[in-house]
Amino acid sequence: MTDTILSITDLDVRGRPPGGTYVPIVTGVSLSVKKGEVLALIGESGSGKSTISLAAMGFARPGCRIFGGQVVLNGRDIMTLAPPERHSLRGREVAYVAQSAAASFNPAIRIGKQVTEAPLWHGTADAATAANTAFELYQKLDLPDPEHIGSRFPHQVSGGQLQRLMAAMAMSCGPDLLILDEPTTALDVTTQIEVLKAFKSIIREQGTAAIYVTHDLSVVAQMADRILVLKDGAVVEAGETDQIIHAPQHAYTKTLMDAVTPKVRPVQAEPKKPEIVLSARNITAGYGATTILRNVSVDVPKGTVVGVIGESGCGKSTLARVIAGLTPTREGETQIEGKTVAPSVGARDKATLRDCQIVFQMADTALNPRMRIRDLLGRPLRFYHSLKGRAQVDRVAELLTLVDLPPEFASRYPGELSGGQKQRVNLARALAADPKVILCDEVTSALDTVVAAGVIALLNDLKDRLGVSFMFISHDLSTVSSFADDVVVLYAGRVMEKGPAAAVFQPPFHPYTKLLLASVPEMRQGWLEGVAQTDEARAASASGVELTAKGCPFANRCIHAMRDLCETTTPPDLVFPDGLTIACHLAPDALPT
Amino acid sequence: MSDLDIPAARASVFAGLRLTKTAIVAGSILLLWVFLAFFGPTLAPHGEAEIISTKTFAPIGEGGLLGTDKLGRDVFSRLLYGVRTTLVLALITTIIAFAAGVTLGFAAAILRGWFDIVVSRIVEAFMAFPSTLLALVVIGALGTSIPVLVCTVGLVLSTGVFRVSRALGMDIGVMDFVNAARARGEGAWWILSREVLPNAMAPLIAEFGLRFTFSILFLSGLSFLGLGVQEPAADWGLMVQENIGGLFLGSSAALIPAGCIASLTICMNLLVDWFQQRQQGETVLEKIDQ
Amino acid sequence: MVKLIINRLLQGLLTLFLASLIIFGATEILPGDVAEAVLGQNRTEEALATLREQMGLNRPAVQRYGEWLGGMLQGDLGTSLATKRPVADMIESRMWNTLRLTLLAAAFSIPVALGLGLWAAMRAGGALDKSLAMGTLALIAVPEFFIGLILMKIFAVELGWLSSSANTRSYYSFWQNAQALTLPVLTLGFAVLAHMMRMTRASVINIFSSAYMEMAALKGLPKWRLVLRHALPNALSPILTVIALNLSYMVSGVIIVETIFGVPGLTRLLIDGVTLRDIPLIQACAMIFGTVYIVLNLTADILSIMSNPRLRYPK
């Protein structure tokens, strides 16, 4: 037992909104972490995992309070200490790595000063030693320019680098316990790898114990030795990583694992060629002086789902807005059922507006909090179909049933609904118009895994029943691969690869697609060690995303790049017999497999 | 376990007003003044301009309930008459300021483009003058009639309201439900009145309260300078100004109306604070001590 | 960043220009014109016509505006109608009085307000914070003249320590000056102090809810370090804006203070000018006030830009 760094018993944390009363957030949770061990806390939002991880420091966020329980750190129950003594342990014996490094670094102070602040304050090192430790940490974490990166400001370095710098800041005092609170959730999948690798190596090397909080199960498989599954503030199941992933016992754990397991796609009958219901042709668009999209063309056939995947900054949201008419195009046009439509929403007639509907990512802000559901759904019914009175009420009930919500919800406000329910209402609102195509802009990205799976099932169902087409925009490869018929891969505003899903996810690949596919963590331990070594991964993490006016934007990160050619000339579209199109200068048989 | 589980339906926004003691006291005082605005003149023992005593600047208790002023009029009665003038004028000017400021502000936020640029520049130029100065020039020019007074003060106040509503409009305007309305094809009028306005009500109400107090202070300041309500009307600001001389003679005829103004504005501020404070919770500094 | 600053400067110039238009326009709407004001009671139609011709009032407004503006830029502020003296002379003697008053009030109120605001933010929710909140609330809710009157009653009338008239002479000793000026400075200062304190407190508390403040707290840093080292640098920008806002508020409040205490300053000049319809005087005074306000705002904005590390050290 002497190598147990942390032992929490019967934790009781409650929270209250301003002016309200305390409600329980975490009840009766117990856990322990040994030296050098990584314990993962997994659960959906509201499970209390973040709260528990902060309690390991004896800290509760504003609005919350630790009402009971023992937190024994290095043999001492820190809850029995006086607050100043407890506070002095933070940063020294136990350190915290937050979710968003961009928000957690003080924008007005240089990075190096922030990294060395804790050891200097706690007196564990003098200025020279602290600077030296920082330098060594930068090197171990594989940061570029370790000599000078400390003299930069947070806004001058990239997201992935900042996250690693935050790890350096946390490790600067040599803590016994490290708390990682969703550290890679805000990062792109391709950036995530280098960060995960860096975290893992430094934890192993220093022999630090760690608590890793996340909702991403495949990441957990890479990082954790043991897993604690949480729901509604209580422990549902606990065990070794291997057991939880491959042989979950509790029903809830099983549901979680089920939601993340890639589904086998039903084999498509020979590809029919349905008519194209929406066609975006040669779209070039941007905001102000920046051009975000270049020459993007996407076709959506009737009754199918076209998945548009790409990482942050690739312009996928802009594409949706352009098609919906909210953002003007510089060049190119949108066609609905063969007819060109006006580029801006103000110039389109109601029939056109009806045909193409858009659903936004954040259901919280997509529904007017001051309107009841029946008015939110009733307005498009009135606006497009002139439905009033009884007819409107009936149709609203129908719509709610269509999205698997009880008709009683019509009298509620959005604030009374959960995230998944709000997103369903969002969908219902789009359906109210009887559209031909619905643009889904990252509609499941803000939802918990299980809830998201439910929404995806609903979309599939609607597609089959109503024959509505979907353009499903997402950064999440696994979701898209399980659900889309055709796939478009977007990078830095250009289409890299597109075609039937089956064809896109099999060789030959565009170099970027290959990188993307390789970066998605698999649900098995040991995957991380294998992937980070490849040349492709190294080349990709060497530089950041660049929007280029000509040539291939991926050229600066691609190992196959031919310097002069790829940077100056736009790659041609290589068309394959199964409908696959790849934009690359490489010869078809030289493409990565 | 799935998202189809129905959480308990929460009541609407106004459930549980959570009144604090301060809010109750402040609210009651305000209600008292409003009541007196209606019934003050009927309750006053003497007339507005009635001279009740030959002793001017009589201290409290002598002559009238609260003494007499520089002409020997009853301070208490004039106080009661003055509530109406003060409150009504302040209300009208605030309403004018809001009508103009909110419409222009929201329009600028939603329409953007050249409309926004032009209007913002003009408002900024108007705000370049200390409000009192602007009022000085305009009233000095056009005379001290009530319509001129009300319009001038309303105009001056509207610049601040414009700024606030424009900022609010922009914050709300980028929310996705506004985009959804735009994507549907809704016109500017619908978006402003049905999407933006209902969500701006809470901050706007608070702003109304604050502008109301500005208006009272501004109007009384103007009266003090001789530019506001004119004699022999019983406006509180005017009462302060005309009775300053009494200060040196031991009379509180100038302090009492000033105190009443203060009570109005303090209570209004407290109410607005209470209204806004319901949103504020602990800060991270407090958590360090726990 | 330099581009932003230049942009802001140009915007400021534009606003100045617009302000001058407004001033000129406002005086144009004065019923009865300069000629009527000059002739006063004795005006006949012919006399008016002749005088207008003489004064060039019949020329188009645009031309007169151009001349006025041009004169302003060269330092010629026109000639007063009432006293026939160059306006510049009249202003010069008075301006110093107003300036002195505002500078002293600023010197007193700004440090106190910032300090108290910071302190209250650190101890948010505590007894000190609550009592400060009440105190400042009382100060801002109360009309300025009330504060002035109370102070005057207590210190000048009852205690006789200070003078109720702020008329200083050049031969006054330092103490006599202090005696005369203390009350007006305090009055002006208190009103502004309350506003500034509340706004400082609000801005700093707002910063407390940032993620980097929590991160710094979780490093085990004490409260004072969190506030001074982490919160303050980020609060510079909003605080500067608050100061600028209040300084311009002070320009407005100085009118009342000058009236109560009889300070022979610029605002009294303006008030007299309005009463006498002394157009050139009004225009010049208004222009000065407007310029000061615009320059103050401009400075605050520029300092704000410069204190933002994202703008100072671009990627």
CB A368 within 8 A of CB A414: yes
Give the mean model confidence (pLDDT) for residues C6-19: 85
pLDDT at B146 over 90: no
Phi, psi values for residue C142, rounded to 5°: -95, 140
Residue type, B176: D
pLDDT for C271 beyond 70: yes
Looking at chain A, the number of H-run helices and the number of E-run strands are 23, 22
Mutate to test the interface with B, among C136, C147, C258, C274 (most CBs of B within 10 A): C274
The chains found to touch A (3+ Cβ pairs under 8 angstroms) are: B, C
The DSSP secondary-structure symbol of A231 reads E
A573 DSSP β-pair partners:
A583
Considering only CB atoms, B266 lies closest to which of C138, C213, C275, namely C138
Give the model confidence (pLDDT) of B68-91 as tens digits. 777 878 888 888 888 888 888 899
Q: What is the pLDDT of residue B1?
A: 34
Using alpha carbons, select from C208, A184, A89, A365 the residue that is nearest to residue B174: A365
Tell me whether the omega of the peptide bond preceding residue A508 falls within 30 degrees of 0, making it cis.
yes
pLDDT of residue A166: 93
More confident residue, C74 or B282: C74
Is residue C25 within 8 angstroms of chain B, CB to CB? no
* pLDDT score of B191 more than 90: no
- Name every chain A residue with its beta carbon within 8 A of the beta carbon of C225: 121
CA distances from A97 to A50, A119, C214 (A): 12, 16, 11
Interval A329-383: pLDDT, tens: 888 889 898 888 888 888 888 888 999 999 998 888 889 988 899 999 999 999 9
> Strand A573-575 relative to strand A581-583: parallel, antiparallel, unpaired?
antiparallel
Task: Note whether C211 contacts A: Cβ–Cβ < 8 A.
Answer: yes
Digits of tens for pLDDT over chain A (593 positions)?
468 999 999 999 998 877 678 889 999 999 999 998 999 999 888 888 999 999 999 999 888 899 999 999 998 999 999 999 999 999 899 999 998 888 899 999 999 999 999 999 998 889 999 999 999 999 988 888 899 999 999 988 888 889 999 999 999 988 999 999 998 888 888 788 888 888 888 898 888 999 999 888 888 888 899 999 999 899 999 999 989 888 999 999 998 888 877 666 665 555 666 788 899 989 998 887 788 898 899 999 988 999 999 888 788 888 999 999 888 888 888 989 888 888 888 888 888 899 999 999 888 888 998 889 999 999 999 999 988 889 999 999 999 999 989 998 898 888 888 888 999 999 999 999 989 999 999 888 888 888 888 898 899 889 888 889 999 999 888 888 888 889 999 998 899 999 998 888 888 888 888 888 888 888 777 788 877 667 777 677 667 677 777 888 888 888 888 878 888 888 888 888 888 888 888 888 888 87
Residues of B (162-221) whose Cβ lies below 8 Å from C:
213, 217, 220-221
What is the token pair recorded at A592? 């990565």
* Chain C hits for A96, Cβ within 8 Å: 215, 218
Mean pLDDT of chain A: 87
Query: In this complex, is the C-beta atom of A88 within 8 Å of any C-beta atom belonging to chain C?
Result: yes
Measured between CB atoms, which of A62, A252, A413 is closest to B12? A413
Report the residue from A353, A404, A450 with minimal CB separation from B184.
A353
Grouping H, G, I as helix, E, B as strand and the rest as coil, residue A268 is coil
Which of C209, C219, C234 lies at the smallest CB-CB distance from A108? Answer: C234
Question: What are the DSSP calls for B116-147, one per residue?
Answer: HHHHHHHHHHHTTS-HHHHHHHHHHHH-S-HH
Distance CA C300, CA B68 (A): 49
- Which pLDDT value is given to residue B2? 40
- Residues B41-51 have pLDDT tens digits of 787 777 777 77
**For residue A554, what pLDDT is reported?**
85
Dist CA B198 CA B202 (whole Å) = 8
Burial code (b: 16+ CB inside 10 Å, e: under 16) for B17-31 equals eeeeeebeebbebbe
Q: pLDDT tens-digit profile of B174-183? A: 888 988 998 9
pLDDT of residue A469: 92
Out of A108, A122, A169, the one facing C220 most closely (by C-beta) is A122
Contact with chain B for residue A506, Cβ under 8 A: no
- The token duo for B107 is 């329009």
Q: What is the pLDDT of residue C34?
A: 60
The pLDDT value recorded for residue B15 is 42
- Residue C102 CB neighbour total at 10 angstroms: 23
> How far is residue B61's CA from residue B256's CA, in Å, rounded to a whole number?
13
Cβ separation B7–A417 shorter than 8 A: yes
- Report the SS3 class of residue A362: coil
**Position C12: which residue type?**
G
Query: Tokens 């690739």 — which residue?
Result: A314
What is the per-residue pLDDT across C71-109, written as a single tens digit (0 to 9) for each?
A: 777 777 777 766 777 777 778 878 888 888 888 898 889
Secondary structure (H, E, C), A525-577: CCHHHHHCCCHHHHHHHHCCCCCCCCCCHHHHHCCCCCHHHHHHCCCCEEECC
Write the pLDDT tens digit of every residue in C138-176: 787 777 777 887 887 788 777 777 766 766 666 667 777
If pLDDT is split at 50, 70 and 90, which confidence band does B12 have? Answer: very low
Phi and psi at A25, nearest 5°, equal -115, -45
